Amino acid sequence: MNLKKAKILVTGSEGFIGSHLVEQLVAMGCDVRAFVLYNSFNNRGWLDTFDQNLLEKIEIFTGDIRDGRRVETAVNGIDVVFHLAALVSIPFSYESPESFVQTNVMGTLNVLQAAKKLKTGRVLVTSTSEVYGTARYVPMDEAHPMSGQSPYSATKIGADRLAEAFYTSCDLPVTIVRPFNTYGPRQSARAIIPTVITRLLSGEKEIALGNLKPTRDMVYVADTVRGFIGLAESEKVTGEEVNIATGREVSIGDLARAIIDMIDPGARIVIDEKRFRPEKSEVYRLCGSYKKINELTGWEPVYSLEQGLKETVEWFSDKRNFRLYKPHIYNI
């Protein structure tokens, strides 16, 4: 599919990955409708940081992904839906599981039902590597078993299976896109990389972290966005579940130390057990295979971890960006 000729809806457009995706789609000359969570402050998340000339090229659509009628209005006239809207914090999912069900499961159902009714040409539903749980083998391909080790991952499994059901029972042209741990500029403060960077930049010498042993497959956001776009353009991915991964893993401890070495080698890590996940909920290892997306689209990771971290640190070091974060608050 030629996206330049398509009318595109991005849900979760104001968020981390969504804002980068919107930016790239506009740069490609696409006609983009950005679904933004309605709020009385007229806050459009990261879209508010865009240059006015860029914003004028985007159709801002406010609503709530949990409101089926509003979602249907957003999907009307759309050729391709990138569905990224979700609640993503694992610690908060322990505290508020119902909100995760309403947003992640019911929100996805609303998108699928609207796309079915309106005969949308392509729907890409965003999954997560967390649906796999702790690796039983590596690299983890799309056949890896799923395990709901947190309320968050359970809701994403539910959303994935709904997408599968709409493909198999309604012939809806759905693709399930499964990024591993995406990082980069604009990532939310709850994540490990922004946590370490902002606290170091604020002058802290002791960086409180939780479990340092788990490993993650870190994908730079520009690579993730290329993966989404490549899958949307491919004619081979309808009904498929596809990883976006690097095939490399790094422990949380080594990742944090790499950032410390970049910013303030004199700082040190201190363990805060309050930040640990419950034992059976911890995902100890994630390392994905990108063989399938490479075969389907030719995609492969471009950024090394070192390159991605360097660009991320540079972005956070800009005071205009750093001021948007609250490094002394523990974000769950």
CATH of the domain at 138: 3.40.50.720
Please state, rounded to an integer, the average pLDDT across all residues of the chain. Answer: 97
pLDDT band at 131 (very low <50, low <70, confident <90, very high): very high
Query: Quick check: 23 and 54 in contact, CB under 8 A?
Result: yes
Domain count, the chain: 1
Domain that holds residue 21: 3-183+219-248+285-303
Residues 190-203 have a mean pLDDT of: 96
DSSP SS3 for 122 = strand
Mean of the pLDDT values across residues 39-56? 96
Residue 16 belongs to a domain:
yes
Q: Residue 309 domain-assigned?
A: no
139 band by pLDDT with thresholds 50, 70 and 90: very high
User: Does the residue 105 lie in any domain?
Assistant: yes
| Residue 157 within any structural domain of the chain | yes
Identify residue 2 by its one-letter amino acid code.
N
**Residue 100, in any domain of the structure:** yes
Distance, CA of 316 to CA of 195 (rounded, Å): 11
pTM: 0.97
Whether 53 maps to a domain, the answer reads yes
Mean pLDDT in residue range 211-234: 98
For the residues 309-328, what does the mean pLDDT come to?
96
- pLDDT for res 5: 84
Q: How far apart are the first and last CA of the chain?
A: 39
The reply to whether 267 falls in a domain is no
Give me the mean pLDDT over the 267-287 stretch: 95
Instruction: Read off the DSSP letter of residue 298.
Output: -
In this prediction, residue 331 carries a pLDDT of: 79
Residue 328 pLDDT:
86
The pLDDT tens digits of the residues spanning 13-38 come to: 999 999 999 999 999 999 999 999 99
> For position 332, what pLDDT does the model report?
77
- Residue 61: partners with Cβ closer than 8 Å, 6 or more residues away: 9, 33, 34, 35, 36, 74
Write out the catalytic residue numbers: 152
State how far the Cα of 68 lies from the Cα of 104, in Å rounded to an integer. Answer: 13
Averaged over 300-316, what is the pLDDT?
A: 98
Give the model's confidence band at 242: pLDDT under 50 very low, under 70 low, under 90 confident, else very high.
very high
Tell me the C-alpha distance between 236 and 219, whole Å.
Answer: 23
Report if residue 321 sits inside a domain: no
